[in-house]
Amino acid sequence: MAARSVLQEADIARALTRIAHEILESNRGADGLVLLGVPTRGVTLAERLGPIISEIAGAEIPVGSLDVTLFRDDLAKHPTRTPKRTEIPDTGIDGKTVVLVDDVLFSGRSIRAALDAIQSIGRPAVIRLAILVDRGHREVPIRPDFVGKNIPSSRQERVNVHLRELDGTDEVTIEA
């Protein structure tokens, strides 16, 4: 079965702008905000969100990346994962409001690993979760704070996020 498009470039841009406003409203401004993207597409989304939030708030928002590979509970099933770089902004994360950014929330296991990874680096005041697509099917009790789009799907379907920086196009598709 062919992939069905569920979000286009304009939808993704609108979702990121809305998420940016929601983050600022929730945090009561930009003070102490740090965005950490979960590789691979979460990093790209965080790098897009940072400037949007900065423009709205008139303040620079630090953006980094957080590799969760070594904190995953499925390494025995997928031992060939190559760790990515973790880059924590110079401001650090201690006492900050850290917003984890990822593309798709499914089982919640990647985010659980991200929480463990963050705790190994420092102690934020608050950790929030921003997701472009929430597709349901949680296996751990994780709930996003900011969601671009809820896309109900079956476990047999696959949600694919394509971003122009990595894939040449902005689109979210779902396929059987």
pLDDT of residue 78: 64
Q: pLDDT per residue over 55-81, tens digit each?
A: 999 999 999 999 998 887 776 666 666
Q: What is the CATH number of domain 4-23+32-68+85-175?
A: 3.40.50.2020
Residues in Cβ contact with 93 at an 8 Å cutoff, skipping those fewer than 6 apart: 34, 36, 118, 121, 122, 123, 124
User: Which structure tokens are listed for 158?
Assistant: 């696959």
Q: Which pLDDT score is estimated for 76?
A: 67
Beta-carbon count within 10 A of 134 CB:
22
In tens, the pLDDT along 9-49 reads 999 999 999 999 999 999 999 999 999 999 999 999 999 99
What are the boundaries of each domain within the chain?
4-23+32-68+85-175
Read off the pTM.
0.94
Separation in Å, CA 166 to CA 32, 63, 70, 90, 154:
29, 18, 23, 26, 26
Tokens of 133: 């697509």
